[in-house]
Amino acid sequence: MLLFGRTQMLSQYSYEEAVAFLMRSGFDGAEIGALDKSFMPRTEFYADGFAEKMRETLKRSEVRGFSVSMHKDYTESPKAFALAFDAVGIAAKLGAQVLIINGAKRDDSREYDRQWEEMRLALGRLAAEAENVGIKLAVELEPGFVVDNTDRLLRMLTEVGSSAVGANCDIGHVFLQDADPMEAIERTAPYIFHCHVENMPTGVHDHLVPWEGDMDMARYMHKLRDIGFDGGMSLDLYKYDYQEVCAPCAQYLRRFM
């Protein structure tokens, strides 16, 4: 496994500065986010020539691996879908193997099946583009979203039916949303392209540093190793000063890798 830090949590810095900081903090590479910490698109990411410039940055920084992410509900508007669609091509030009996405936020005032179908169709369009440009899409299950547990994630992957679409296994979300997280990880194993790591308190969607919370971090990390996962895993924290916790989190997680 390779341990990544997320540039989205360091959006006060340029991409170049963020990647350099993450490497100094003990990570193997970076998850390059299309959005800033407020989930707004970064103009640099969508600017002409970004992929070429970013490739040089990653080379200079001697990263061992990297991924790209676009964490936005791409069903909410045509503009949001365009951001996700364009991110597929940009990530491919950058040379990424994986683009991490989530899906549709659930609206309890609307019929669930209609929301499911909207996500399925939109994800299918993104999958077709991913197949065209040669990149994988890693879908993340998320509390409060249409795809909010492993059963629904696997159903969505089956219905989309594309080899370009798999899972971003956020172990905290699996802990929170699945009755048997270890069994859920096993079932997802053939589809896992990428992972997110954090700890969680029982019953509360609150991303915590890995030594806090109710998860047995060693057990989860060893489970990923046991199923043969050897890809990128990003530290996924929001409420902290990311630059303050990066290095101690990386050091802590290394003991289980």
pLDDT band at residue 228, thresholds of 50, 70 and 90? Answer: very high
The predicted-structure confidence for 83-93, as pLDDT tens digits, reads as follows 999 999 999 99
- The per-residue pLDDT for 217 is 97
> What is the domain partition of the chain in residue ranges?
2-254
For residues 186 and 192, what is the distance between their CA atoms, to the nearest angstrom? 10
Topology of domain 2-254 in CATH is TIM Barrel (3.20.20)
- The per-residue pLDDT for 141 is 98
pLDDT band at residue 65, thresholds of 50, 70 and 90? Answer: very high
Over range 95-121, report the average pLDDT: 97
Q: What is the mean pLDDT of the chain?
A: 97
Confidence (pTM): 0.96
Over range 132-152, report the average pLDDT: 98
- The per-residue pLDDT for 11 is 93
Q: Residue 64: how many CA atoms within 13 Å on its side-chain side? A: 14
For residues 131 and 112, what is the distance between their CA atoms, to the nearest angstrom? 28
The predicted-structure confidence for 242-255, as pLDDT tens digits, reads as follows 999 999 999 999 99
Sign, Cα dihedral of 188, 170, 142, 21:
negative
Residues 191 and 230: beta-carbon distance below 8 Å: no
Q: What share of the chain is helix, strand, coil (3-state, %, to 5)?
A: 45, 20, 35
Residues 70 and 48: beta-carbon distance below 8 Å: no
pLDDT band at residue 2, thresholds of 50, 70 and 90? Answer: very high
For residues 5 and 13, what is the distance between their CA atoms, to the nearest angstrom? 14
- The per-residue pLDDT for 185 is 99
pLDDT band at residue 94, thresholds of 50, 70 and 90? Answer: very high
Residue from 47, 63, 49, 48 nearest 96 by CA: 63
- The per-residue pLDDT for 69 is 98
Over range 21-28, report the average pLDDT: 98
Radius of gyration of the chain (CA): 17
Of the chain, the end-to-end C-alpha distance in Å amounts to: 7
- The per-residue pLDDT for 118 is 98
Torsion angle in degrees (nearest 10) through CA of 56, 70, 100, 15? 30
Q: What interhelical angle do 15-24 and 50-60 show, nearest 10?
A: 20
Q: What interhelical angle do 217-226 and 181-188 show, nearest 10?
A: 30
Q: Cα–chain-centroid distance for residue 87?
A: 13
Over range 128-139, report the average pLDDT: 98
- The per-residue pLDDT for 111 is 98
- H/E stretch holding 34: none
- The per-residue pLDDT for 97 is 97
- The per-residue pLDDT for 122 is 98
- The per-residue pLDDT for 161 is 97
